[in-house]
Structure formats: structure tokens, C-alpha cells
Amino acid sequence: MSIQQVSSFASGQWIAPGAGARNIASAITGEVIATAGNDALDVQAMLDYGRNVGGPSLRAMTFHDRARMLKALAGHLNQHKQALYEASFDTGATQSDHMIDVDGGIGTMFVFASKGRREMPDAQVYLDGDVEQLSRNGTFLGQHICTPLQGVAVHINAFNFPVWGMLEKLAPTLLAGVPAIVKPATNSCYVTELAVRLMLDSGILPAGALQLVSGGLGDMLDHLGMMDVVSFTGSANTALKLRSNPVILENSVRFVAEQDSLNASILGPDAIPGTPEFDLFVKEVSREMTTKAGQKCTAVRRIIAPNGQVEAVIEALSARLAKTTIGDPRLETTRMGALVSMGQKHDVLEKAAIIGTEATRVYGDPDSFTVDGADADKGAFVPPMLFHCADPDNAQRVHDTEAFGPVSTVMGYRDVDHAVELANKGQGSLVASVITHDAEVARQVAMGAGAYHGRLYFNNRDSMGESTGHGSPLPHMVHGGPGRAGGGEELGGVRGVMHYMQRTAIQGSPDILSAIGQQWVPGGTEIEGPAHPFTRKFGELSIGETLYSPSRTVTLEDIETFANFTGDTFYAHMDDAAAKRNPFFPGRVAHGYLLLSFAAGLFVEPNEGPVLANTGLDNLRFMQPVSAGDSIKVRLTVKKKTPRNEEYGEVRWHVTLTNQADEKVAEYELLTMNAF
């Protein structure tokens, strides 16, 4: 069997293993299948290449350009995912495990592509929050903006998810406009190398946007500066060593960590045997123990059940775990494969022995178990192991020792407060799950354990059909946790992108803010167009283009007709005496939605034209009432333009209604789709 040479991609070139290369063994057979590493990599040149070639190219793109790039990358990987599946078997993972890793990573990239198009502007500057009025007359304003860091993101990833672990960091990094240097764990780097080759060969990425280190980083961290970012996934000890690097400390290099986590799953006091919640709990915990052979940062390590249900949980879990077929992951009948390496196997057994000093093993014997289609001694196989800790209050090791494999410990609690106390003994976790149909129990856990956890997952009979699982970080939600879990956050949609951007407060006139943010700010210069804006195509409209309408007088007959036609006969519109008793009204007043309807009538162009649809209305505020005899007029301004596809784009209009005294009556933002 030939041994694969796992290369690095540095400064635009593939570099084969060299001095310092390390052998990689199959998790199934123990035979050497690959070698990776090269001590001769020029890490300074790699950093310079990313900063000076990749960075400028990415920053020249808008968020939407980069989102389209991510979508194309995800689509390309999706076409080649079978090759990634095949490459992954020697990591010990099953086909189901591959789908979590490969499909999950591709799906994450698709989500970030979508969020980039929908939630970020087609611009190079991201506006964070509303404009702040810093002066009486609005001539001096403030705004927070986010711009890409002008450095490189160094991603140091764990062995358990060679594809997802890379893509869940790479997607927000590239969307931010920052180049990445990816360093996968050596044990599974051959899978990551294939994914990187696929992306680079696609020609979708600009030069310098992505580089790969297969093997050790050398002294790369010693060359980082204030514009760089390190994102790390792995053990707490390694994270501490890396973040303590004097250069990282001196230059305040951003360091995002996701590390050891003693995650818990709590069985609610209402979830007794025979309920859907009890069965769900057993199913979820069993799945988290055996998926990826328990090699998940979010796996359930501590099973917290009511004292009266501990024996039932142990019995039900043991029965379910007994149905788990361990073997060669290529076999369709295999439900749990091997750990990633013999070194990992030795570590898991060592940690399980430590847990065993405070808990009794009630299921799984690492010295006696069956492996289908492989040799249990040559491969990195271990059985699921379930422990029971009878005194979790005085135990320590079950709350601070993570056996990164199919190992978990059952412990009992007296009441919900006690369950929260036990969960929090993990000193910071990525996730805790609570299986309960009692909303008050869920609230109590959220209030007591929220500060100790990055994510709380609640599930019951109502949500179980569509829930994603305790151990599934989703790109929409933050992934991270306080304390022992690393104190960082990843994913979370646009929140994850912000790790690679600098938030800056800008202050100046409305025109200055409009120019920087590429959207019109009230008080800024207004442009008079050559014709009614609704007669002109998307590309013909200019930011700040403004239409002033004629005025219209609102009559009592208008108010009554609207009330009778719509059925909205609220007393403020129909009963003068009652309206006067209301401190907000001088008497009968016009309906707010009547005013909006009249406003549309004042600015609309009725003929067929480039305006295809009115798709929404945002930030509506009614400032003061309009009575019969008052008049209203409209100012309509192009605030922002966002292309949506090749046929049309979204125009966001700032709309202000004023009365005969030029006082603001209402304000909102109108959204239309306009043809190109």
C-alpha cells in the first residue's frame, strides 16, 4: 500500500512533506497510511503572502461578492463530497459521521453565504447599530462601523472534524474579508488537505485567500501582529500554552478558543419512565456517546437525572448502548467506529480510569468487547463506557476530567437547583441540554446555568420531531462557552464574522457618514432626480435622491370612511370625548394606517414601470397625531440600494410624513424591488 504524502499549500505553492514529517496511521488497522509535515516552511513568507496578496483581493470585494464566493465554494465541495467521505474512513468515522463532518461543513458555508447576502450590505463597510445624534440640530452624528482586519487568520483545528472544523471557521473569515492559514490536526489532515485542494483547484478563491499547513506551525505565532487572529480548537492545556505566547500577549492578537468541555444533559423531574421525554433523553445521550465514537467537543460527558430515576436511566441507557455495533466503519452494519489513533485510545482509557476513582463503571468493558471486521487490538477501538457517580457533590474528577471518547457518567440530583449546581460544576461548558415538558423547569435552568454555558438546548415531545440534537452546533447560533470551554464564541451568523473585523466609532456630518456607510443619513444632501424615482430603473437611482410630494388635507369624512371600511372603529378615531380623556390625543384623530395609505397615494407613480413590488416596511414610528383639518406631505429619499439578482435589486426608501407646521408625523423605511 502506498503512503500518501500530505502536502502544505504555502505562498501559492504545494510543498511536500520534508524534514520533521510525521507518520499517520489508520485508526482501523494501525498501519501507516500517510506522512505530513515540513520544518522548512517559510512561515513569515506565508503570513506576508496572506496579508499582501490575499487580504487586498478579499477587501476589494463587497460582502455580497464574498457571499457569492462562499456559495460557489460550497457548491463545488458538494459535488465532490463522495471523495471526502472515502478519505475519511481511516479516521475511524462511519458514513453517518462523515455526513455530520462533510455535509455539516458544506451546509455551514451555505448558511454564511445566505446570511452574507441577506443580513450584510453589498458594500465594504458593515454598519453596526443605528446613527447616534450627538448634537442638537443633527449636524454632528455618530455611527459604529466594522471593517476587515488587515492581517491573517490562523486557524488551528482539532482532529475530530477535519472538514466541518475548517469550514465553520473559514466561512466567517472569508466573509469578513480576511485570508486564512489553516492548520488541521495531523492525525486527520489528509482529509482537510483534500478539501483544500478541491477549493483551490476550483479557481473560485483569489490568490492568497487560503493556505494550508499540514504538520506543525513552527514559530508562526511568533510573527503575528495586531491585525492577525488565532482561532483554536483543542485541549485547554494547548490553548493556555498558545495564548500565553509573549508575541500574542504583547500585540493583543485576538485569540478565539474552543476547548475542553464537561457538557451535561439534565433529565427533567417530569420526565419519568413511560413519557416521551424519558425515551428522548435516553436516545439523545446514547447518540452523543457513540457518534464519532464520542469524539465531539459537544458530547454529553455528565448525565444528570433525578435521584429516583438514576437506576432507570442506567438500565435504559445500557440496553440501548448494547445495540451499538462496533467495527470497521466501512461496514454498513457498524454504528460506532474507532477513535482517531492509538494515542487517543490510550488517552481515553487513562481518563476513564481517573473517572473510575470516583465512579463505578456500570456498562462497557475495554478489556472485553466485540469488533466487527477489524482487530480490536490493532485498531483504536474502545466500547461505550457508562459510569455512575453516587456522590457527585463531593466528587471532583467527574466534573473536571474529559475522556474524549464514548465515556459518560450518570449522577443523581435532589431538585432542579441541585441539578443546576451539578451542571455548573463543569466550570464552563459549550452546551447543556434539558429534556423536560415543564416550561418552568426550563426557565429555572436557564436562569441558573445560562452564565456557565454557551448554549442551552431544550427538547421535549413538542420539538423532538424537528430538533437538531444536543451535540449539533448550528451556524445560526453561537458556538463556544465560558471558563473551561475557552471563553470564546464561533458561528452565530454575523456575530462570527465580527471576530475578524474591527469595530470603529466614526463621528461627523450626515454627508460624511453617508459617504462612509454608502447609505443616506437623514440630514445629508438631497438630490433632485430628473424624473419621478418610480419611473427609473435600479441602476439609475442615486443614494440621496429625494421626492417631495404635495400636501393633502385629512377630513373627518376620511377618518370615518376608513373606520367603517376597515372595521377599525377604535374609540380614538370615533369618540371625541373618549379620545380627549386619553393623554395622547387632542380629540378624534386619524388612523396611523390611514396616514400611510394617504402617503402612498402622495408619492406613488401609478403606471407600469421598474418598481416590481413593495416587499416591506421597517422601523415605523408615529410621532404625533393628525386631526381632521390637518394636512400631511411626504419626503421620499433613496436610502440604500442592494442588488438581489441579475434582474432586480432592493431599494430602501426613507419616508417622512410631516404636517402643515413641518412637524414629523410619522417615519418609516419602505422596501421595493426595482428592475435593473
Residue spans of alpha helices (H) in 20-103: 43-49, 55-59, 63-79, 81-88, 95-98
Rounded (5°) CA angle 239-241-243:
65
Give dist(CA 185, CA 22) in Å, integer: 12
Q: Determine whether 358 is an active site residue.
A: no
Give dist(CA 185, CA 173) in Å, integer: 19
Give dist(CA 432, CA 426) in Å, integer: 10
Which H or E element spans position 600?
Answer: helix 592-603
Give dist(CA 363, CA 358) in Å, integer: 15
Contact 247, 221 (CB under 8 A): yes
Residue 203, judged by CB atoms within 10 A of its CB (0-12, 13-18, 19+), counts as exposed
Return the half-sphere exposure (C-beta side, CA atoms, 13 A cut-off) of residue 133.
8
Residue spans of alpha helices (H) in 89-219: 95-98, 104-119, 164-176, 189-201
Q: Determine whether 560 is an active site residue.
A: no
Phi then psi dihedrals of residue 620, to 5 deg = -70, 130
What pairing do the DSSP bridges indicate for beta strands 385-389 and 360-363?
antiparallel
Per-residue cell: 595: 396616514
Close Cβ partners of 465 (under 8 Å, ≥ 6 residues apart): none
Contact 200, 137 (CB under 8 A): no
CA 520 to chain centre: 30
Q: Three-state DSSP class for 609?
A: coil
Give dist(CA 276, CA 177) in Å, integer: 46
Return the half-sphere exposure (C-beta side, CA atoms, 13 A cut-off) of residue 271.
30
Catalytically annotated residue among 168, 193, 258, 402: 258
Tell me how far apart the 2 most distant CA atoms of the chain are, in Å.
94
- Written as one string, the DSSP assignment of 516-567 is HHTS--TTSPPB--SS-GGGS-GGG--TTBEEEPPPEE--HHHHHHHHHHH-
Q: Considering only CA atoms, which of 517, 663, 510 is closest in space to residue 139? A: 510
Other beta carbons within 10 angstroms of residue 262's beta carbon come to: 23
Neighbouring-strand partners of residue 255: 230
Catalytically annotated residue among 297, 402, 489, 490: 297
In 323-451, at which residue ranges do the beta strands (DSSP E only) sit? 360-363, 385-389, 407-413, 429-435
Other beta carbons within 10 angstroms of residue 375's beta carbon come to: 12
Contact 17, 38 (CB under 8 A): yes
Contact 184, 101 (CB under 8 A): no
Rg of the chain taking only CA atoms, in angstroms = 30
Q: Considering only CA atoms, which of 337, 273, 261, 339 is closest in space to residue 300? A: 261
Neighbouring-strand partners of residue 658: 633, 664
Give dist(CA 600, CA 618) in Å, integer: 15
Q: Considering only CA atoms, which of 63, 64, 11 is closest in space to residue 644? A: 64
According to DSSP, residue 396 is labeled: -
Contact 167, 537 (CB under 8 A): no
| Catalytic positions | 258, 297
